[in-house]
Amino acid sequence: MRQLARVVVALAAGVAALSVGGPAHAQQLSELFRKVSPSVVLVRTVERGVSPEPSAGLTTIPGLGSGVLISADGKIMTAAHVVQTADKVGVQFQDGKIYPAHVVASSLRADVALLQLDQFPIALAPARLGNSDSLDVGDEVIVIGAPYGLGHSLTVGHISGRIASGGIVSGAPMELIQTDAAINMGNSGGPMFNMNGEVVGIVSRILTQSGGFEGLGFAIPSKVAQRVLLTARSFWSGIDFVMLQDTLAQVFNVPQPAGLLVQQVAAGSPGAQLGVRAGAVRMQVGTQQVLGGGDIVLGVGGIDITPNGASLEQIQNYLSGLRAGDSIRVNVLRGGKIVKLAGPLRAR
């Protein structure tokens, strides 16, 4: 009986501790949300794409993602896939006002991009970038973004794992942060915060069979985003593409082991200024749906496209080293013929 009494007392003490710790933890989360939420933005885009209706041709497609303000001069981090081929970008703050912005750096391989506000409020509240290298599995994190357009939504979770992708981006290994914090469509590009209110990741993608969140979300570490966007200033081409290699390269009659089939090109981007042509016809190639009829990039700056993306890091380094006025040279396969495109890089 005495042992049973001790167990009951111990359980009662545990429940009492939880009753105190629960509200205290909720209060901590509430205060953290209020502190960092002003730095979180919605990223609204407009781009041209091929309509699902074959007879409609090109159509205007609105897009939505999230982002985080990182500087007082109006720089915003987001996901590259949100803005890579956007003709127009608008950034919506917590007060609902939308301000124009443009892309200044982007890496599709790392899936991060940097925006610059063209206009912005006088009072800005940028977030602090944290050290993602210090994260451990089990650390608590929060994600703030706009899932399905529901702006400034908070989800809470933990670091579930740290995954090396095996690739090299801007001279260093690429890594992903795995989390169980709920992530859905519209969260892409939003910040992951540690409990000190520092940005430790940029939301990238989920693994799902249903189309919604199933407990497996991934973010790009803040250290990677800083290296790619702020140190290397990865070149934004405005082009989205599909790698053609092996059987696909043969199907499209690529005259070398690999090429990049252009899918979309953002208006006013360096790719558009060079005259690179986007795809215009929906095609089913095996299990993959692509846009055909566009250019196939064979080489950039004298660097040929090679299988498995081995040359993409070299090409990114070449492009990122260009300055306004420098000439860009791109070889493309167009209508079965190799066409050489060249032109000066314009300042943005």
- Active site positions, annotated: 81, 111, 188
Counts of helices then strands in the chain (DSSP H, E): 6, 21
Surface-to-core class of residue 299, CB atoms within 10 Å of its CB (0-12 exposed, 13-18 middle, 19+ buried): buried
> Closest Cα partner for 244 from 260, 220, 227, 224?
260
Rounded CA Rg of the chain: 23
- Write down how long the chain is: 348
Task: Please report, for residues 7, 38, 145, 314, the alpha-carbon distance to residue 169 in angstroms, rounded to integers and kept in the order given.
Answer: 55, 30, 26, 10
What DSSP letter does each residue of 228-254 carry, written as one string?
A: IIIIS-PPP--EEEEEEETHHHHHTT-
Enumerate residues 6+ apart whose C-beta is below 8 A from 46. Answer: 60, 61, 62, 63, 86, 87, 88
DSSP 311: T
State the Cα–Cα distance between residues 105 and 47, nearest whole angstrom.
18
